[in-house]
Homo-oligomer: A and B are copies of this chain.
């Protein structure tokens, strides 16, 4: 069996090695446009910053090592330029000689990945992109001569590049056209990332675009400028699906190659995986463009089984991700609130601000978690987390609970391993479950940060149940201070009408609501307390809403 694989990184190389394990006699050829295969995509920004010092560490395999161990014929600096599906042949150009050859296949796997979008800006030819090792070399070389940089785009790569250019000593401006970085996060969660970026000296320009790029600066849409010895464009990626399209493969509305459950394209004999293909959303089954290495690797492994005739089905995607931001972990899985509201779901939204481990054990760090729940079914729709430590664990646990079909309240019953340096006896994930259950069972009613203004306008009184010292430090305008421990004795001071209770993070507010409810008062707890409201408010102000 002759198998040709176009693209030799995550999906392609996972497929190639798995195919060899399944079939010693297959002829496996890998065509890769860049000079390297099986390189560490996700490590590239960290080589820019010198965290991964040795460039050789980025190269996990070489054509030679793959030939020796797996008997795979790997051809780097070869570009697949045409497919003849009827003849089952692939035309390949050797980039160093310009010569073309025609290769015949029984099965063709396309794993070409996604290419960086180049915004149509005057001067964009000076902007570097980051897709492969050669691009990394170019950025490293340019950064060595530079003292200022503009990074265009606040997605994963933009944020990681900003951090790593700062690490190299450059003064970095990050320009993002939306009102926030990291679009999969809701704004009040992204605000935590903004705080961290600014704290480390990144000049963060949100809701701004680059209008043109000059020789030493970028000019923004408002006419202001940012110094830019170096410009990197990381405004997103598009599936690299032209070759597939020319061969007649059907594409989805966002340009992703359409594949069935077994990764077969619409053209017989051609399979596709990775960033170039459209996936299926795990929540509602819709088409999803998710360009993440974990899924590409899994698909690569799975498609090998499909090509080898073994039973396999694709897995829908949650889009689980994590990104480091100057020591902060920002992670999410599933849908955010924005997406869930757009889908018209009735929601329970929960924000918490727990410690990564028991507060009495040194080194505890506060994290910020958000859970998005379908209020009708108690299904977990998604989760987000930002914090210095332990966010990765909680998000992976929630993603696993989602895969297992656990309802949100069941998070409270998970038996997670506890010792005080690693967690709390009631783990942050357990707490999310308890809070959900309380709301499900009518024990607590909450209000989101973005609903407060409307509630106040409708006549609700905001009651701050923190201490006088906390209230004096920062308070919601117009709030009435009654510390929780005095509440039972001061019920008569509460005005008639609706009450919105709040504290610092939501716990005392909940206790206050329980007291008030049992005294016949309707009180809603401001979800996530001041910690969420203040980030949400900052995000709203920044976006001019």
Contact = CB atoms under 8 A, between A and B. Distances in A.
B485 A69 contact: yes
A331 interface: yes
A40 to B, nearest CB: 5
A167 B242 CA distance: 63
Interface stretch (A230-238, A263-271, A417-425): A417-425
Given A24-B519, A71-B488, A417 B405 contact: no
A46 B301 contact: no
A417 B400 contact: no
Interface in A311-351: 315, 317-324, 329, 331-333
27 contacts: A24-B514, A40-B358, A42-B425, A43-B358, A51-B362, A53-B362, A58-B360, A68-B485, A292-B418, A294-B417, A294-B418, A294-B425, A294-B426, A295-B415, A301-B434, A317-B415, A320-B418, A322-B418, A322-B422, A324-B422, A333-B417, A392-B417, A393-B396, A396-B427, A403-B404, A403-B406, A404-B406
B422 A315 contact: no
A418 B293 contact: yes
A376 interface: no
A98 to B, nearest CB: 33
A324 B363 CA distance: 15
B40 A360 contact: yes
A400 B425 contact: no
A515 B358 CA distance: 50
A140 interface: no
Interface residues of A, number: 87
A422 B399 CA distance: 15
A60 interface: yes
Given A24-B519, A298-B412, A401-B400, A395 B417 contact: yes
Interface in A384-414: 392-393, 395-397, 399-401, 403-406, 410, 412-414
Interface in A40-89: 40, 42-43, 46, 51-53, 57-58, 60, 68-69, 71
A146 interface: no
Contacts of A319: 415
Contact of A413 (B43, B57, B315, B324): B315
A180 interface: no
B422 A413 contact: no
Nearest to A315: B413
A419 B324 contact: yes
Contacts of A71: 488
B400 A320 contact: no
A534 interface: no
B68 A294 contact: no
A484 interface: yes
Contacts of A282: 415
Contacts of A40: 358, 360, 420
A263 to B, nearest CB: 14
A21 interface: yes
A410 B404 CA distance: 9
Interface string A424-454: 0111001000100000010100000000000
A391 B419 CA distance: 13
A518 interface: yes
Nearest to A69: B485
B315 A360 contact: no
Nearest to A511: B21
Contacts of A441: 310
Given A24-B515, A395-B417, A401-B404, 8 more contacts: A21-B511, A42-B418, A60-B360, A69-B484, A293-B418, A298-B430, A322-B419, A404-B405
A397 B400 CA distance: 6
A415 B297 CA distance: 11
